[in-house]
């Protein structure tokens, strides 16, 4: 007498969670220092000191009743204005506060947009490799979920595959760049060509095809441009989270940006807010909206991520591993020697080295490493990667 | 090409919001001090000083990366343990941390439970007068929403009406006590008789009928017992919010309590977490989970609410108004002279006195007053209530 789909979503442990639990059990046996857990995508940088200082100041300076009180469901005006101003300064856009809708993080933001676009027979495309929650999010929102195969080994976007999968029912295409799990940043060339394709198909079908740009890693890029997609394709809706850029993933602060110039822009904005309301959205946590007013311009200190990334990427390449070029986020996506990442992950587990096989991400021959772990641990894990490669070679897998 | 139901939910202003906007416009003309706005249910007490002190202390004493980091999706163990301990101390229950699921407030908690109970042809009952969001929450979750007529003038529960509306498809009955909008607390007698009815029907139908107890006002009662429903009826699931008891409505912290002894208790717990996952739940705001560990035992200082309640209730009674007995929450529900609350609300608006007609709450002959406004404003509004009663009398409405 309960909903079976929700039950499965509640009890089914995903692969990452299982690896994490395995790691905890092993840590109890061999010591935490001897388990090399590359599974969880948790920021390892603390929030910039300005964030905690802002909280102290808000509590000391502002009226407590207002600080913790309800804001407008779309978010406090000042906070939305800070987001718009920040976007305009970074990307030269003309974003306005009335185009911003503050949410409890990127996940409910995405779901609100998907629900807003859920019409009869509606479909949504995602590009492999992809963040696995997109599928339940889309399906529980009432959209058919379809996955575009990965563009191996560059992990850009196979435009011919996208074109073959577009139909008159396609409502949206989800993009995630810098990408989880590949760490790849879609280039301006990729995005411009994709935009041209979508514009052509919009004319052919006579209705908008939105890009739903999921950008939690937008500020985490290492020396490459992360093009801002609304500047390239008009019918783009952005979902953002402050989890990674401010290192506050537990605090649940994000937004949807629906430019008015989008097809049906104003109606879509309100439809997104209505979809959020039906999911129990009241407002984004109010003290965090005030932190945003004071801290929206902060950018993360990427040095420690970059150092970890460089060590791991260069070392793996030297050992003969093939990796997608990890220009952003905090992931490296690596081809499993022999092409079976599930088998490789099992093999690595025997050395207490935890890597996530890419099957659930839509790319079964690669595994994901999240390098948000201490630098010295990465150093100590390198011999294990070398042993694994040697074993695979000895078995003729490569 | 967007979802029309969500669009309507986004653009349709409810009556309360419209009154609030009207009040803001009038304030610009006649001055805020001359607008008497009883429309919005916002706490007017600031959070207890312990709350802000706890935040300062957490930031000063605890590891910043953990403070703002992801917690388990069900909530940090320590925070869930604090909730369970607090329930056990208040109500003599045997709640355990594994029965508690921390959420971003009561609204997503309710929706997660409704979605968890959404099976084919499933129905949910609510008792009028009721919190209007129950209807879109239930319908968007895939349940048929049915409203039990109000028990005028006591606003307890008409058991014969409940019995007539129960069917083999009834999955749950939503209760809200202390009640919004009536301020009434359901008595132990009412709840015991309701429990007996539901137990009989459970046996008849051969499946559970859950009580979904929505309790944001549980700690706001004035000298009467608020019976804890899980102690009266086993198949009770509790949704709670800290918005009112800690005066932190903007911060989004609440929980679901699914006792294991409920029918299918453990499965239902995980189904609720799965439903929340499909709505974008990641975790409750992490710093607030830590505040909960330090502050779960606080109770609100009800003196100022009680003083406002007594003044308003006694004065209105003296003028000849009939009110439901306002034993809890911060609302008074008043019969409109003549029985047409919408007309009465319009009449009151002409005096810049804003009261919410009860039609949307399922009781069109009553209007709601939220007395979270300054005491002196209540005092100055009393002559207006008297004038209105005199007018209604002169017109022969009473």
The pLDDT tens digits for B50-69 are 999 999 999 999 999 999 99
Beta bridge partners of A147: A126
Q: How far is A214 from chain B (nearest CA, A)?
A: 14
Alpha carbons B292 and B80: distance in angstroms, whole number: 9
What pLDDT sits at residue A299?
Answer: 83
Whether B1 sits inside 8 A of A136 (CB atoms) is no
What pLDDT sits at residue B217?
Answer: 96
What pLDDT sits at residue B157?
Answer: 98
What pLDDT sits at residue B7?
Answer: 94
Residue B286 has pLDDT above 90, yes or no: yes
Q: How far is A3 from chain B (nearest CA, A)?
A: 5
- Band (pLDDT 50/70/90 cuts) for residue B17 is confident
**Which residues 233-262 in chain B show a CB within 8 A of chain A?**
247-252
- Check CB contact of B69 with chain A, cutoff 8 Å: yes
What pLDDT sits at residue B128?
Answer: 98
All domains in chain A, ordered by first residue: 4-47+301-394 (3.90.1150.10), 50-295 (3.40.640.10)
Give the chain A residue nearest B208 (alpha carbons).
A1
Looking at every residue in chain B, the average pLDDT score rounds to: 95
Percentage of chain B modeled with pLDDT above 70: 100
Give the chain B residue nearest A282 (alpha carbons).
B107
Q: Which residues of A touch B270 (CB under 8 A)?
A: 7, 10-11
Residue A389 structure tokens: 């490669």
What pLDDT sits at residue A41?
Answer: 79
- Check CB contact of B270 with chain A, cutoff 8 Å: yes
Whether A3 sits inside 8 A of B283 (CB atoms) is no
Query: Residues B73-107: pLDDT tens digits?
Result: 999 999 999 999 999 999 999 999 999 999 999 99
Residue B13 has pLDDT above 80, yes or no: no
Nearest residue, CB atoms, B7 vs list A107, A249, A267: A267
Residue B42 has pLDDT above 90, yes or no: no
- pTM of the entire predicted model: 0.95
Nearest residue, CB atoms, B105 vs list A59, A105, A282: A282
Q: Which residues of A touch B287 (CB under 8 A)?
A: 250-251
What pLDDT sits at residue B182?
Answer: 97
- Picking from A194, A195, A173, A177, the residue whose alpha carbon sits closest to that of residue A117 is A173
Q: Which residues of chain A have pLDDT under 70?
A: none
Give the chain A residue nearest B253 (alpha carbons).
A285
Residues whose CB falls within 8 Å of the CB of residue B195, separated by 6 or more in sequence, listed in order: B232, B233
Whether A44 sits inside 8 A of B65 (CB atoms) is yes
Whether A140 sits inside 8 A of B111 (CB atoms) is no
Whether A275 sits inside 8 A of B55 (CB atoms) is no
What pLDDT sits at residue B248?
Answer: 95
What pLDDT sits at residue B301?
Answer: 83
Measure the N-to-C terminal CA separation of chain B; round to a whole number of Å: 51
- Check CB contact of B343 with chain A, cutoff 8 Å: no
Whether A71 sits inside 8 A of B252 (CB atoms) is no
- Band (pLDDT 50/70/90 cuts) for residue B108 is very high
Cβ pairs bridging A and B (under 8 Å): 248
Q: How many alpha carbons fall within 13 Å on the CB side of residue A150?
A: 25
């Amino acid at each position: 007498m309960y909903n079976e789909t929700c039950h499965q979503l509640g009890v089914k442990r995903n692969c990452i969670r299982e690896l994490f639990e395995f790691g905890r059990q092993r840590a109890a046996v061999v010591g935490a220092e001897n388990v090399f857990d590359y599974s969880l995508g948790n920021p390892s940088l603390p929030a910039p000191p300005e964030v905690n200082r802002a909280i102290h100041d808000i509590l000391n300076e502002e009226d407590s009743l207002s600080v913790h009180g309800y804001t407008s469901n779309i978010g406090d005006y000042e906070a939305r204005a800070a987001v718009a101003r920040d976007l305009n300064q970074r990307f030269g856009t003309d974003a306005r506060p009335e185009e911003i809708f503050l949410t409890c993080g990127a996940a409910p933001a995405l779901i609100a947009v998907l629900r807003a676009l859920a019409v009869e027979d509606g479909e949504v495309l995602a590009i492999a490799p992809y963040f696995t929650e997109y599928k339940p999010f889309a399906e529980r929102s009432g959209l058919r979920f379809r996955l575009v195969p990965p563009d191996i080994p560059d992990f850009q976007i196979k435009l011919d595959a996208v074109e073959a999968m577009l139909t008159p029912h396609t409502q949206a295409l989800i993009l995630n760049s810098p990408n989880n799990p590949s760490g790849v940043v879609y280039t301006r060339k990729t995005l411009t060509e994709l935009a041209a394709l979508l514009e052509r198909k919009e004319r052919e079908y006579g209705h908008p095809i939105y890009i739903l740009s999921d950008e939690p890693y937008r500020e985490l890029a290492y020396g490459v441009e992360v093009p801002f997609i609304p500047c390239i394709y008009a019918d783009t809706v952005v979902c953002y989270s402050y989890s990674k850029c401010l290192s506050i993933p537990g605090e649940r602060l994000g937004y949807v940006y629906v430019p008015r110039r989008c097809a049906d822009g104003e109606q879509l904005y309100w439809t997104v807010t209505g979809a959020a309301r039906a999911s129990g959205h009241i407002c984004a946590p109010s003290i965090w909206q005030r932190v945003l007013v004071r801290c929206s311009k902060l950018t993360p200190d990427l040095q420690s991520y970059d150092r970890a990334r460089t060590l791991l990427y260069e070392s793996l390449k030297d050992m003969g591993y093939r990796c997608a070029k990890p220009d952003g986020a905090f992931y490296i996506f690596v081809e499993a020697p022999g092409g079976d990442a599930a088998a490789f992950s099992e093999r690595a587990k025997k050395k207490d080295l935890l890597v996530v096989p890419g099957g659930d991400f839509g790319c079964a021959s690669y595994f994901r490493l999240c390098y948000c772990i201490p630098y010295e641990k990465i150093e100590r894990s390198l011999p294990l990667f070398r042993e694994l490669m040697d074993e695979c070679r000895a078995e003729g897998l490569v």
